[in-house]
Amino acid sequence: MNGKPIVRRAAADEDIEKAIDDDAGESVEVADRFIDALEKNVELIGKSPRTGSPRYAHALNIPGLGFQKIGRFPYLTFYIEQEDYIDLWRVLHERRDIPDHLH
């Protein structure tokens, strides 16, 4: 992967595990597609972190916070670009109370 490395917080890892478990409940194929979409999303963030939306950064007063939707899945990746890496904060379902989960 070209670009900045991604450093996932423990909360992001827990979010990913929950999303995979939820999707695996539908089928293993759906879970596999989610993993593939997540990997592409994270790779894109590493290459072009500024393409993410700053909407929640402004709303929550968290400077530098960006987010991107994961393909066709109803999940969003939240991250902050650091000098040498991307700090991946959370991977949340878009119907969750996003402000509550980010504070």
Asked whether residue 1 is domain-assigned, the answer is no
* pLDDT tier at 1, thresholds 50, 70, 90: low
30 occurs within a structural domain: yes
Whether residue 66 is contained in a domain is answered as: yes
pLDDT in the model for residue 47? 95
Instruction: Please tell me whether the overall predicted TM-score, pTM, comes out greater than 0.85 for this model.
Output: yes
Q: Tell me the residue type at 56.
A: Y
CATH number of the domain enclosing 50: 3.30.2310.20
Q: Which pLDDT score, from 0 to 100, does residue 42 have? A: 95
Question: Pairing relation of β-strands 75-81 and 6-8?
Answer: unpaired
Taking the C-alpha atoms of residue 27 and residue 86, their distance in angstroms, rounded to an integer, is: 31
Strands 86-93 and 65-69, how do they pair?
unpaired
pLDDT tens digit sequence for 19-51: 998 876 778 898 899 999 999 999 999 999 998
Number of domains in the chain: 1
Q: Which of 9, 20, 17, 34 is nearest to 102 (CA)?
A: 9
Whole domain around residue 22: which residue ranges? 6-102
CB 89 within 8 A of CB 66: no
78 lies in some domain: yes
